[in-house]
Amino acid sequence: MPTERTIPLPADPADPVQRAVQARAFCSLLASGRPVPVEGLSRSEQHAVADLRQRGRLTLTAHGAIDGSLGLTIRPTRHRLELAEGVRYTWCALDAVAIMATLERTGTVVSRPPDSRDSVQVAFAAGEVAQAPDGAALLVPGAATGPVVQTWCPLANLFTGAEQAHVFARRRGLTDYTVLDLGEAIAEGVPLWTAALRDTT
């Protein structure tokens, strides 16, 4: 288990075009629940979409529209956000709790760990945890070994307790990971999403 965590940044601070594309797509997906067309984007924005997709920082439908950005997706996953505007999904459990806290949303995170039939539910009220299992824990993997959504996100999961997280890690042969309690996970995630969404226009 590492002493230092390596959480992939939701957005690349060095590329303002990519940051803007990700932030606008995120906001559109959240508001509408529909894929975001890429027609009409500038050439530099289209290049950004292609690069982000290759690095696992953006996902597209079969028709080329954006259906996932900054961890938020309309494609069903094991991590569900139940919001006033409807159901949305996230790529991993860290995305789910960090997005709810960053945006100060009211709703429920329903996250199912791998190899489990039971989901972990965390209720939020204005971005604060209102109800959660005692001892809920989130496994944070080490550095990504490839495209983030394919390699890092499947390992970042919410469990009812730390022991369940360690059992999952042992079964997967993980040695580079950290287990955080819910408050620690939110504290790690909020600054990242706050920075990523700063470019929203």
Do residues 91 and 106 lie in contact, with contact meaning Cβ atoms separated by under 8 Å? no
The separation between CA 56 and the C-alpha centre of its own chain, rounded to angstroms, equals 12
* pLDDT at position 57 over 60: yes
Residue 22 is predicted with a pLDDT of 94
* 10 pLDDT more than 80: no
- Provide the 10 A C-beta neighbour count for residue 40: 7
Average pLDDT, the chain: 91
With a cut of 50, say whether residue 100 has pLDDT above it.
Answer: yes
Note the pLDDT of residue 152. Answer: 93
Share of the chain above pLDDT 90, in %: 81
pLDDT above 60 (res 179): yes
| Helix axis angle, 16-32 to 182-196, nearest 10° | 110
The answer to whether 95 and 79 are in contact (CB under 8 A) is yes
- Report whether pLDDT(58) > 60: yes
Res 3: pLDDT: 39
Is 4 exposed, middle or buried, given 0-12, 13-18 or 19+ CB atoms closer than 10 A? Answer: exposed
Q: Residue 34 carries which DSSP code?
A: S
Buried (b) or exposed (e) across 43-70, using 16+ Cβ within 10 A? eebeebbebbbebbbbbbeeeeebbbbb
Residue 196 has pLDDT above 50, yes or no: yes
The domain locations on the chain are: 16-73
pLDDT band at 200 (very low <50, low <70, confident <90, very high): low
Beta carbons of 156 and 139 less than 8 angstroms apart? yes
The pLDDT of residue 40: 86
pLDDT score, position 11: 62
pLDDT class of 46 with cuts at 50, 70, 90: very high
At residue 14 the predicted structure's pLDDT band, cuts being 50, 70 and 90, is confident
Q: What is the pLDDT of residues 120-163, one digit of tens each?
A: 999 999 999 999 999 999 999 988 888 889 999 999 999 999 99
